Amino acid sequence: MVAEPITVVIADDHAPMRAVARRGLEAGGCRVVGEAATADEAVALVVEHRPNVALLDIHMPGNGIRAADDISRSVPTTAIVMLTQSREDDDLFDSLRAGAVGYLLKDAPPQSLADTLRGVLAGEAAMPSALVTRILDEFRGPARRRFGRGSPAAAKLSTREWEVMDLLRQGNSTDDVAGRLFLSPTTVRVHVSSVLRKLAVRDRASAFRLLEE
């Protein structure tokens, strides 16, 4: 019996890149069931077609990491693989947290895509060795100082408030935190105001000191 071809949705706002990926996949025996240029289009196509794999660019309109998170929740049977130019640690780790099971760079040979996706569906890791090393270093290295969730101050906060303050403490700007947590900057500020009120302090620095105790 001939195996069914792997079905794929490709999402990238750069049409020539989608064309290159499509040619590589189809040459390798995969079937592309949809192409998207934005995160919202990608999610809609995956929900409609329920492909074996969603191949997502990170920096497309609407944010590919957000699309990965939405897809992992709504269609958990679809394997998510990022196809990106980004070698940034934040993009890599945020993609994995959002449910991606592979992280491929766009300079990889397109003719290798089909075999890579077959490996993903067989349970293999799909990631350049240099990025695998970064992940290992993250786990082996000294733990980044984080707020203790068991502190009396932290116990007063919601999970989202704690996440906002933890990211701010690490040096992220309000806009950075908004992007990481898929919130608006205004919502981040509302969370901070709520934290200051709950902890009865006037500024973030005072809140950080309490949360570090």
Is-above-0.75 flag for pTM?
no
pLDDT tens column, 163-188: 888 889 888 899 888 888 877 889 89
Strand ordering across the sheet containing 102-105: 31-36, 7-11, 53-56, 79-84, 102-105
Residues 6+ apart with CB under 8 A from 181: 160, 163, 164, 167, 188
How far apart, in whole angstroms, are the C-alpha atoms of residue 41 and residue 96? 21
Helix boundaries (H) for the chain = 15-27, 39-49, 64-74, 89-97, 113-121, 129-140, 159-169, 174-181, 185-199, 204-211
Q: Model confidence over 76-110: pLDDT tens digits? A: 999 999 999 988 877 888 888 888 999 999 988 88
With tokens 């992220």, the residue in question is: 172
**3-class secondary structure, 199:** helix
